[in-house]
Structures are given as structure tokens and as C-alpha cells.
Structure 1
């Protein structure tokens, strides 16, 4: 709906602020948060509502759209911004045009379209830690008044920030690149077509996370038994001690074809066809130089979408109607390769909990005799899954201008979804027969003769407890639901309006794409959000003042949250495969944005948000001490939902001589503390922090060049941006924010 809280950020604003990805948008959009433990685990929330990406069966509450195309995985948007026209951040449920899975809001990224006027530019940056980036674009007419083209691309590199004490390698580097090519076809004034082809890739030595304190006593006992000392529990020390060759490889390809036809002076018909392909291949470590577990979760995802939209814009009224068809295929496979130290670490930890003096030096021979290292070494636990999802939506909205001051809008959307999925798990390799305990496996055939299940007493049953046993299931989910909105606006004065709105958004339910036990349901229910909002916005151009403010109250039923299964294994799966529907969540808050010309040279921009995001009914949260879902978090703050966010930007411009100009600025972003996981694990707590940046540039607009000096995290603040599970509930890794980085940028526009 048009009468809603929205931040529209121009491409030039993104460039001036040094914002190069979705993860940095919160510094320009109040009430928004973003995190990424690694490129696949990108999570965006608005007004405290979002979700993490550990389980591929769940989609985000914040819809991501690129050039009007819905993308099902937020990690599609992890790649760097290049040649962007603007980014729109729409807050609150978007139940009509942006209706697909947008219970919290939407982020719409719009790239610059080709034009028939020639233009181009190149930008090069170099900074601390070998931070270097190269960006460029060029475009213009290919056939006069008929065909135009545009190309853009980027290369981004930075050395690793983390020193690996085990072998001297640098970890967590940056190695990304991408390109986009476009064609604009205008055969006559009533027809236009736009073809967009994109490709991008990531190939990084990533991602290591420091094991965050406080560490659970069970993990401490395991480490002490092995006489092992972790490198650091402070992520801002930027040190690691791991033995695996970790990596992250991510790629995407996309093709979008848009055709617009002006049926009449008031009516336009649009067709948007799109294909996107995304693949992810990681190698992760167990955060130690012990040989415990290595592996990763590989993904391949592709989607096809077709949308047809008709819009009518009249003097007094307007209307939109459309149909969207979306098909997604998702395939994933989690591989866990067990190491030779795993048995001693697990069972030695249990021994030390009972005998505080026990170590591998004084009892390792006995333990190795019972479970030799080669028993588990090389054993692989493989968990593949697949899903096909089909979605069809029909929507319509109408706007009516009753008087010169009063306008109303109303819209509805019906969405039908069907999902089919399969999940399995198998265990192979290793040498279980090396253990004398394997003799207990003879109880299995004996139990079959006696009609008694003895597997829990066998060695294979013990391995099931350590690594997981055989598993297989197939599921189907189908539903239909209605979303929509109603709003009214009143023109207070020239350039100023007030509005009220009621909106309902629905995020579809689905299939749990993880191994489910007795406490985890194979499917989960839809998430429904109903929001009431009132706001005012406007501008006084002659005084250089703009203002937008909103208050809201959003109630969410069956909020889809990811956490852990009540797993009985000694090594709980770090994937949060328990899809909880939290009964009730409530979001209440105030947002405001203001811009003001302080003088002919000084400009100030402020954005602030207060958000009270509360889980009103949450009695089955996991308890990290009892390892069961019995903790009551009703009335507590929702995770990844900072109460306060603030962004301030002060800019200065001064003409020098001719067309030469100096520009400078300082910005500050502040957010309050929050928990990084839904269960409020002690080590997942993220302290509040504030980050300051500065920039100074001199350039000649007529000649098209600019040279800039910049610095990010000016005060070298140590802070954590996200937490993620390492071994299971209560055991978390922390993602450190970047330290102080400075550099130079030169650009030339032609």
C-alpha cells in the first residue's frame, strides 16, 4: 500500500555512505536489522521480525525483491551493490503487490536501467587489510531510439582478518565479483522491453567464528579432558586454532525479461518473467584444531516466476490487478565427516565430569582400548533433502481520491502454495568393528528372535547417540490464504500528508527440511501478521526540511522460529531444525526520519526507531541447562530485535573554484543490545554498539572525477554482529564486526 512507512534510498546515497550490500542497509533505514554468519545464513528483519536461514524449509518474514522479482532466499541479496538506482525498504506487512511472504516488510532493490544517453564510470578503492574494489558501468544507445544497452560489474577483495594460530593462514577474507548486462527495447512509444542478465560469485576462506563465552560446563569438561585450550573466546581478538581447510563458495545466475505495453493513456500491462539459480558449497570446521567434525551444508536452488500486472492511473482513481506464478526447486546435502579425536572428546568429557582429574594423558589408553580412534575416523553422516514448491497468487487493489485532500486504498491477495519434500540420513565409513564394544551388536538378532528391541544397548545404538542413525521421510504441505490492506490519507498542507492503515500479511507454512524426532513436527503452520499504523510525512523544499514518522502495533500469530530438537545425541546437530510456531508475538514502536539543510553548506539527516518486540506466548523455548523445550520466554524480547536503532549523518559541501567542490561527512549508527538466538542462550547475547565513519572528497562535476579519503569504524569499536550455534543449544560462535578500516577511492564518470 502506498500509505505506509517506507525508506527510499537513492544509489548516490548508498555510494556516499559506503553501503555496498543489504547487510549495511540498517545504517540508512531505521527499524531494520541484518546479519550473516556466512553468505548462506543471511537474515534480515524489520521491526524485530525476521527469521534465520538454518532450515531451508522456512522463508524469511522480510521479502527480498530485485527489479520487481521475488527471490526466495535472502542470500540472493548478499552480493555487492553495483549500479543501483535505489533501494526501497517497506516496513510492516505488505499484503497486496509485495504480498509473497512479507509479514515484516520488504526490501526492493532496483538497478539502473539502460538509457539512450551515453554514460559510464569507473571507481577504484584501496584500503587497510588489502581492501580493494573495482566497479564500473557503461551504457548508451545501440540502435537510435530503439535499442539501448548497459553493463556493470565489480571485483571486491580483502585479506583475511583472522590469524589461524594452527598453521599461520589468514581466515575470513573477501573474494567476490559480479556482472550485469541489460538491453532496453522501445520499438514504439507504447511498447518497451527490458532484459537483465546477472552473474556473481563468492570464493572465500570463510567462515570462522570464535567460540563465545560463557562456555557450557559439558564443553569445558571435554576440552579439559583433551588438555586442549581454545585460541580465544573474544571474537575481536581475530585469532583461531583450526585444522580444516575451510571455504565458502557461492554463485548465482539470473535472467529477467520485462515487457510493458501502454494499452491506453491510463492503462499499462506488464509481464515479468524471471529465472534465478543459486548454489552454495561450504567446508566448515568444529572451531578447534582437534579432529572432531568437518563438513558443511551444500545447496542448489533455482526458481522460475511469471507475473502479469495491469495498472490503471486516472485523475481520481487508480487500480492494480495481477497474477504471480512461482516454482522453486531446492536440493541440499549436509555432510559431517567425523574425526579420530571425536570419541575421546565426547566420552572423555563424560568421564571428566565424574572424575575431575581425568585427562587423556592418564586415562586415554583405556578409552582408546574401548573405542579406538579409527572407529569413528572417516565416518560420514550424510543428510540429503529435496523440495519442490509451487505458488500461485492473484491480487488487486484500488485507490480512490474522494476530495483534493482525502484518498483511500484497499487491496486483497489470495495465495495458494503446494510443497512436497523428502529428507533422509545415512551413516557410512569408519571402522566400527575396531571397538570391542561392537560385540554388543549381537544383541540385535537376539532381540529379533525374542521380540525385544535391544538396539539401544548395542554399539550401533551408541553410534546413533553420537552421530545420528538412519532416517527417511517424505511430506506434503498445501494451503491457501488471504492477505491485504486498507489505508486512508489526508493532505494536511502542500507537500504534507497524514495516513492510517491496517494491513494483514501471511507467510506460508511448509515442510521441515531437517531430521525430525519426537519433539519436532514434520510440517509447520503459516505465520500471520496484522498491523495498524499511523504516520505523517512531508517536506518543505524552500527550507530543506523533510520528515517522516510512524507509530505501529503489529500482532503476529504462529511466528515461525528456528531452534533445536530435544536431541538425545552427545553431539547435537548445530542446524536449528526445530521449527517452532511461537503462539503470539507483538511489535509496538515509533520510527522517524528527518533531513534538514542547516545552511547552504551543511546538511543533517537523522533516523531513529524504538521497537518493543515481545513474545507474548512462548512456553516451549529450549533451555540450555536442561536441554529440553521447557523454558518460558513469554513477555521477553524477541531475538535479533534491538529496542533502539539510530542513524545520524552530517554532510558538508563547499564550492572551491569553477566546478571544483569539496564534500565531507561523518555518520554514526547505534543499536541496543539483543539476543542472537530465539532461546536467549547466555553466550548468544549481543551487546549494543555504536559505529562511526567519516569521508572527505574533492571532485570536479564538470570533468567527472572525484578523489575521496574514508574511514570506517573510526573509533575502532569492538563489537559482535551475529551469533550462531557451533555444537547445539548453548554453544555459540560469534561473528566479529570489522575493525577500523581506512582507504582511498578514485572515480571517473564519463
Structure 2
């Protein structure tokens, strides 16, 4: 009801000028809505207009570290989703073991690294035509008719509806046009890759009503062969559709009604044997001995043979869609904007969580359905010599319902347990956890930013945000088993009675029951979190000349606290869950940044620099309780994290025949204070040392990888690197062209190259010698001919050198020492034909 009231209020307010001011003068801006205004780079100036500060202005004059990726840039690189976009933007990181378990980070910050927890808050905002997308998984669709993508680095809470502490990715699609136009593009490549994109737009009623329809279809065979199912995995099968209706009842009012639907049905996402490392388990209980006991060998120990033998169902189907109404009312000195939206995300997965052909975990899935409603009401000045402003209200409500299950197989006892129970497959065979998870998230904010020219060329831009978040959840796990030896149903209500009955039977029965309920724990809890916070920033910018602009920013930002909805760790007595871990504190961030934006040689050379330092208190991280049979971790706070670095974007156009670019980032991201972190795999699996009342532990941990050694209950990883962050990363490229004509069609031949490089990075929340991913360089090449009248045909090769590298590495649960990986795409090649009419 609250959303409906806000929706109607916003729409009604912006409909007023239809009656009150039918003859109002036309605004000075062009006819298209201000929020969509953009110009492509000019051949001599390279100027790009963006809407990063909620008004159209030159990207070079915006005192924010940002990168603009045009539709042409995205198409040339084959970057048709956010995953592929990271090769073009060194400060952007995207990680995904499947769409739900995805994270977008900027400068190493954003979301905790590891399996997704429904109760987390993302630190990077993802926006589609001004609509905030509440889950990163719901942003993994193929781009449909995109005009540009803006990547804003650093806190953005005083300009954008949802508070974002790490940055924002702002996707803008092409707006409806009153002039008839059409675009079509078709690509075909190896692995039977086929991608078709089409869009059309036209005016309908006397330049008052325009429509735009867009669609995209992508398919590709899988790149990994599964010997068990005799099918290729990691395929692509995506379809997307988007429709927009633009109504301009008067010259100063526009309303854009949009709807989109996307469905993806890939057989992904697969991780399998990458390497084996030594843990502190006894030798007989590490991976090599366990596999030998079952007579098992993986189909290949070279992961880049791209073959696996997963024995569980694999799927990653998702449907994404929604509607939005964006209204812009130019009232002369300012423009009022309303963004009303409803979106949904339906997720139906299946995974092989043990990553092998053995029946350890035979089912692991968390089907989820999310709906979100949002309303943003904003006013922004239309430009002043002395004072500009933006102010807004934002409301967001989200619901997630998840009904998951996990089932252990006949090999689970040997892999996960010790003692006599390890030799009895019935102890865990068929052990099932059925999980019901509900999440409600409401957020309300008032935000604003001023842009005040206090002196000629000097501007001060303070911003303020008052934010309220309320989150509530419900988690209920019912554990059952039914085989020839064991049969019970354990809930949070009866688990104590069942434990007492087992203890009354025998010590062995109690041990078995404890092993079963430690592997999959029956528990029920209802966490809640609510908090007001105030954040803000201030930027000072100075125009040294018309082409040289500097700025300095300080921001005090918050990322909302969270609730744990993937199950809680057991208490120190292993008799129940630790309810003190239900909620996670908010992250508190102090951010400092200086930047310089420059253009030289008649704007044929652009060089932008930014240096930043960010301190985060109570950093939200994924941890575990170090039990060897734990599958999923939970959220907790690291006391302090620091991220600092330097970035640059540069482009060069020495002649109309040649263009080059080099972008780079140096990022130093470390845990400053994280004394109770989970240990890396080489320090787990042995005899657990006892934790003393004061938090210390008794005994001396064994050296890493000591079979049968003593394992610390937690590790101090202060001073070590954050996961997923390369210290150095680059993107670079060039294009050369030569005017010519083909069959009487004037145009140009061109040869383009796009490359990227990143140094090694950790792929585990606690750095491990086994889970570092080595640095790698990628090369993409294109060669084609484009005409002056809109035709473009080119051949392309991506990952041209067929570089073998992992997108991520993970640790098999149970401290067996098995490290599994998700390989990136091999070399692909094909041809694209595109036309504009």
C-alpha cells in the first residue's frame, strides 16, 4: 500500500502540468528526456555528456571518478553483460559461481566474497534506466538496446536513491525516438554461438507519443563436457525483450513507461578439480586417500581439458523482469523527476556442491523468488552560474522467499566425518535439510547535494543523506534421514529431546546423532535489524582551465547492517545455534579522494587521474565456524579494512585514422584488523584447539599442512589482502582505419585490438597458498568494414591467445584439500553483421 500511494502520488504530481500549463515554454534542452541526454564523442573533441549527477553535463567536468562505456565500445568488445564488462574497466570486479552467488565490486569493495546470503547489503548500486536493482543476481541479464554504461567509483549516496558505499553501475538504454529508426545485429561464432539483436522506434501521434521495441537472443554450446550426463555444460541460452512508450503531452513534460522480460536457461555454473593441497587432516582423511578408498579418479586432473563428471543435476535458470514509469517535468528553474518501478527475479538452480563424481552432496539448491518496489522523487536545478542542487526522496521495499534443500549421499560419511561413523555410509546417506527462508527489506532516504560556485572556477559541493533501513527474516531448517539404519525428523523444537534420547541409548548413538545434526543443523530463528544513519560528503572542485579540472572529496558513508539467512554457527557446546550471530553491524566508511581531469592537443588527448584512500570499520565478511562438515558460511564483521589506490583513464587520437586508450588501476586492499577470521584450508582439519573464556586458545597450532596436526579455531589475517582484488589491473587498446569503398558504399576498413591484464589475486576470504589465481592477460581482435550509411561487418576473436585462467577457485567443504575451479571461456571467434536504418 505504501508503494502504491507513493507511485500514485509521484505520477499525479507530474501529471499536473498537463492541465495547469499546457502552453508552457519549451525547455532549453533537446526534446528527449533530460535523464537520457547523451552525445557521442566528437571527432575533434571527444566530449561525452553523462547524467552521473542527475543532469546532462560533460563527463570531463563531473568531479567524480567515472568511466563511460558507449554502446559501440561494448559491442566491439562483445561485452553484452556485466561480467564481460569488467575487462574494459580495471577498477570493476565481477565474481559469480552462479547468478545468485554473484558480486559486483569496485575498488575491491561491494559485497562479501563467497556464497550469497539473502540478508546481505550490496555496496555497489546497479541501476537500469534509473531503477535500482536490489540483488546482483538480478543484474546478470544480457544488455538489450543499451546506449551507454556509466561506472561511478566511490560512495554515491547523496546523488542516488539507494545508498552505495563502493560505487554505482548506471545502465542507460536507448530512449524512444520520434524519428523512425531501426537497428539489427547478428553474430555467429564457434561453439555454435548465435546472437541476434534488434530494435525499432518511431513516433505515433504528432510528436506526442513514441514507441521503442528491443529484443536480444543469445545461444552457445557449452564449453565443458560432463561425462556423467553426456552433455556440454556452461552453455548460453538467453532471451530478452524490452518495450518503451514515451508520451510528451506538453513540451515541458515527458513520461516514459517501460517494461522488460529476460529469461536465461544455461547449464551452469560448474566448478571441478583444479588442484589438491595439504590440510591438517590425518593423511587417510585427505582427498587422495578418500578418493582412492572409493576407487575414484576425476576424468582429468588438467582443468583446462574442460571435462568433468558431476553426478548431480546442474541448472541456473532465472527469469528477470519488471516495469517502470519515469516522468520528467521541467518547471523552468528545475526539473522534477519521478521514478516508480516494480521488478522481480525468479531463480531455479541445481548444483553439485561436492564438485566430484562421488555421491557426497547429491542435492544443493536454493530456489528463490524476489520482488521489489521502489519510488524515487527528485528535483534538480536546470543550471545556474552560481548554484545548482539536487534533492530527493527514495523508498525501497524488497521481499525474498527461498525454499532450499540439501541432501547428503552415500559417500558423505567418509568425506565429512571421523571415527567409526566415517566408515558407516548410513550415518549421512539421505540426510536432508529442507530450508524455508523469508526476507523483508524496507529502506527510506532523504538525500541532496549542492553545487555552489563560491569563487570564479571554485565550487564546493556538499551532500547529505538521512537513511532508515529495516530488515527482518525467518530461517527454518528441518533435518531428516530415512535409510535402513536411521530414521528421524529433527526440528528446532525437538532436537534437544532427540539428543537426550540418543544419549540415553549409548555414547555411540549420541556421537552419531551429533555428527548428523552438526552436518545439517535443525534450527529456526527470526532475525531483525533496523537503524537510522546520517552520511554525507563534500567535494571541492577547481577549473584550472576549460580543459583541466581538479577535485578533492571526503565522504562519510554507511552500508546497512545485515541479517544472517544461511543458517547460524553452533554454539561452543555444539548444543544449539549461536543466536548472537543473527545480525551484522553496518559498515562505516571514511573515504578520501583527489582527482584531475585533463585534455590536451585540441582535446585529442585525454588523461584523468584519481587517488583514493578508504577506511572501513566493521567490514562485512563471510566466515565459518571451522567445523569440518560446514558447507556454508555466515556473515560477520572484520574490525577494520583499508583500501587505497591510484587510477587513470587515458585516450589518444593523434589522427582521424588512429585512436588508442590505456586505463589502469593500482589497488592496495587489506584487512587491517581481523583477528578472528576463518583459517585457510592448510590450517584446518586437524585437532581443534580449545578456545579459552578470554578468547585465546590453548595449545600450539601445527605448521600449515601438517597431517594430523593441531588446528587453530580462528586465524589472525590482519595485514593480508582482501579477496578478488588484483594489485595492478589494466585495459588497453587501439583502432586504426582506412577510408575506402566496397561495391559503391563509402566507408572505412578498420582493425581493432582490446587487451586487459591483471596481477594475481586471492580467491578465498582468508588468503591461502592454494587459492591464489595467477595474473593473466587477454587479447581481443576485430577486423571489419563499416559504411557511412550504417552498415558494419567484422570478424572477431576473443581471448585470441587462448589464455587458460580461472574466474574463481573454491575449497571443497570438509578440509579434504581438494581445490575446485571455474575456468573462464576459451578462445572464441566469429563474425558480426550490424545495420542501422
Q: TM-score, normalised on structure 2? A: 0.82
The answer for the alignment partner of 1:671 in structure 2 is 758
Q: Is the 8 A contact 1:222 1:346 kept in 2?
A: no
Structure 1 447/302 Cα, relative in aligned 2: closer, same or farther at 3 Å?
closer
Query: Matched residues in 2 for 1:550 and 1:59: separation?
Result: 26
Counterparts of residues 621-640 of structure 1 (less than 5 Å): 621-623=677-679, 624=681, 625-626=683-684, 629-640=713-724
Counterparts of residues 463-478 of structure 1 (less than 5 Å): 463-465=516-518, 467-478=519-530
Q: Is the 8 A contact 2:272 2:356 kept in 1?
A: no
Tell me, what secondary structure is at the counterpart of 1:433? Answer: coil
- Aligned equivalent of 1:336, options 403, 406, 410: 406
Residues 19-48 of structure 1 deviation map (CA, whole Å, 9 limit, x = unaligned): 111112222223221121112122111111
The answer for the alignment partner of 1:362 in structure 2 is none
Residues 436-491 of structure 1 deviation map (CA, whole Å, 9 limit, x = unaligned): 9xxxx9996895799999797254333213x3232111121110111221011111
Q: Is the 8 A contact 1:564 1:728 kept in 2?
A: no
Counterparts of residues 698-717 of structure 1 (less than 5 Å): 698-702=785-789, 704-717=790-803
Q: Is the 8 A contact 1:235 1:720 kept in 2?
A: no
Query: Matched residues in 1 for 2:170 and 2:521: separation?
Result: 43
Q: Is the 8 A contact 1:447 1:454 kept in 2?
A: no
Is 140-149 or 332-341 further displaced after alignment?
Answer: 332-341
Query: Matched residues in 1 for 2:532 and 2:336: separation?
Result: 26
Residues 72-124 of structure 1 deviation map (CA, whole Å, 9 limit, x = unaligned): 11122211112111111111111312263411111111111111011111111
The answer for the alignment partner of 2:690 in structure 1 is none
The answer for the alignment partner of 1:733 in structure 2 is 820
The answer for the alignment partner of 1:134 in structure 2 is 196
The answer for the alignment partner of 1:358 in structure 2 is none
Q: Is the 8 A contact 1:60 1:101 kept in 2?
A: no
Question: Which structure is higher in strand share?
Answer: 1
- Aligned equivalent of 2:646, options 575, 590, 595: 590
Pairwise CA distance, 1:613: 0.9
Is 60-69 or 712-721 further displaced after alignment?
Answer: 60-69
- Aligned equivalent of 1:419, options 471, 474, 484: 471
1:648 equivalent to 2:648? Answer no
Structure 1 409/240 Cα, relative in aligned 2: closer, same or farther at 3 Å?
same
Tell me, what secondary structure is at the counterpart of 2:76? Answer: helix
Counterparts of residues 197-236 of structure 1 (less than 5 Å): 197-216=259-278, 218-236=286-304
Pairwise CA distance, 1:176: 0.9
Residues 5-64 of structure 1 deviation map (CA, whole Å, 9 limit, x = unaligned): 111111121112221111122222232211211121221111111224521111222111
1:606 equivalent to 2:662? Answer yes
Structure 1 449/484 Cα, relative in aligned 2: closer, same or farther at 3 Å?
closer
1:306 equivalent to 2:375? Answer yes
Q: Is the 8 A contact 2:626 2:714 kept in 1?
A: no
CA RMSD of superposed structures (Å):
2.6
Tell me, what secondary structure is at the counterpart of 2:581? Answer: coil
Query: Matched residues in 2 for 1:27 and 1:597: separation?
Result: 22
Q: Is the 8 A contact 2:475 2:525 kept in 1?
A: yes
Pairwise CA distance, 1:699: 2.1
1:117 equivalent to 2:203? Answer no
Counterparts of residues 447-462 of structure 1 (less than 5 Å): 447=500, 457=510, 459-462=512-515
Tell me, what secondary structure is at the counterpart of 1:221? Answer: helix
The answer for the alignment partner of 1:680 in structure 2 is 767
Counterparts of residues 152-167 of structure 1 (less than 5 Å): 152-167=214-229
- Aligned equivalent of 2:630, options 558, 572, 576: 572
Q: Is the 8 A contact 2:416 2:814 kept in 1?
A: no
1:661 equivalent to 2:748? Answer yes
1:71 equivalent to 2:71? Answer no
Q: Is the 8 A contact 1:95 1:504 kept in 2?
A: no
Counterparts of residues 247-266 of structure 1 (less than 5 Å): 247-264=315-332, 266=333
Q: Is the 8 A contact 2:342 2:372 kept in 1?
A: yes
Pairwise CA distance, 1:70: 1.4
1:509 equivalent to 2:561? Answer yes
The answer for the alignment partner of 2:24 in structure 1 is none
The answer for the alignment partner of 1:185 in structure 2 is 247
Query: Matched residues in 2 for 1:393 and 1:539: separation?
Result: 37
Q: Is the 8 A contact 1:7 1:90 kept in 2?
A: yes
Structure 1 515/650 Cα, relative in aligned 2: closer, same or farther at 3 Å?
same
Tell me, what secondary structure is at the counterpart of 1:15? Answer: helix
Q: Is the 8 A contact 2:499 2:513 kept in 1?
A: no
The answer for the alignment partner of 1:360 in structure 2 is none
Query: Matched residues in 1 for 2:506 and 2:212: separation?
Result: 68
- Aligned equivalent of 1:380, options 432, 444, 451: 432
The answer for the alignment partner of 1:323 in structure 2 is 393
Pairwise CA distance, 1:329: 0.4
Pairwise CA distance, 1:345: 4.4
Query: Matched residues in 2 for 1:541 and 1:68: separation?
Result: 35
Q: Is the 8 A contact 1:210 1:232 kept in 2?
A: no
The answer for the alignment partner of 1:409 in structure 2 is 461
Query: Matched residues in 2 for 1:527 and 1:445: separation?
Result: 40
The answer for the alignment partner of 2:574 in structure 1 is none
Tell me, what secondary structure is at the counterpart of 1:80? Answer: coil
Pairwise CA distance, 1:221: 3.0
Structure 1 174/450 Cα, relative in aligned 2: closer, same or farther at 3 Å?
closer
1:550 equivalent to 2:616? Answer no
The answer for the alignment partner of 1:238 in structure 2 is 306
The answer for the alignment partner of 1:359 in structure 2 is none
1:277 equivalent to 2:344? Answer yes
The answer for the alignment partner of 1:534 in structure 2 is 594
Tell me, what secondary structure is at the counterpart of 1:608? Answer: strand
Residues 647-703 of structure 1 deviation map (CA, whole Å, 9 limit, x = unaligned): 11111121103622112111110001110121123332111100011001112122x
1:697 equivalent to 2:778? Answer no
Pairwise CA distance, 1:494: 1.6
Query: Matched residues in 1 for 2:503 and 2:176: separation?
Result: 76
Q: Is the 8 A contact 2:540 2:553 kept in 1?
A: yes
Q: Is the 8 A contact 2:157 2:447 kept in 1?
A: no
Structure 1 553/453 Cα, relative in aligned 2: closer, same or farther at 3 Å?
farther
Structure 1 gaps of 5+ residues are 354-366
Structure 1 728/299 Cα, relative in aligned 2: closer, same or farther at 3 Å?
farther
Pairwise CA distance, 1:632: 1.4
Q: Is the 8 A contact 1:444 1:455 kept in 2?
A: no
The answer for the alignment partner of 2:335 in structure 1 is 268
Structure 1 543/481 Cα, relative in aligned 2: closer, same or farther at 3 Å?
closer
The answer for the alignment partner of 2:102 in structure 1 is 42
Is 123-132 or 329-338 further displaced after alignment?
Answer: 329-338
Pairwise CA distance, 1:743: 0.5
1:292 equivalent to 2:345? Answer no
Residues 166-200 of structure 1 deviation map (CA, whole Å, 9 limit, x = unaligned): 34321111111111000111000111000110110
Query: Matched residues in 1 for 2:830 and 2:499: separation?
Result: 72
- Aligned equivalent of 2:674, options 618, 622, 634: 618
Query: Matched residues in 2 for 1:691 and 1:446: separation?
Result: 56
Pairwise CA distance, 1:256: 0.8
Q: Is the 8 A contact 1:282 1:297 kept in 2?
A: yes
Counterparts of residues 8-47 of structure 1 (less than 5 Å): 8-47=68-107
Is 174-183 or 76-85 further displaced after alignment?
Answer: 76-85
Structure 1 350/656 Cα, relative in aligned 2: closer, same or farther at 3 Å?
farther
Query: Matched residues in 1 for 2:601 and 2:211: separation?
Result: 35
Is 606-615 or 40-49 further displaced after alignment?
Answer: 40-49
Tell me, what secondary structure is at the counterpart of 2:786? Answer: strand
Query: Matched residues in 2 for 1:351 and 1:661: separation?
Result: 75
Pairwise CA distance, 1:334: 2.4
Query: Matched residues in 2 for 1:321 and 1:155: separation?
Result: 39
The answer for the alignment partner of 1:499 in structure 2 is 551
Query: Matched residues in 1 for 2:224 and 2:498: separation?
Result: 52
Tell me, what secondary structure is at the counterpart of 1:585? Answer: strand
1:90 equivalent to 2:142? Answer no
Query: Matched residues in 2 for 1:737 and 1:159: separation?
Result: 14
The answer for the alignment partner of 1:485 in structure 2 is 537
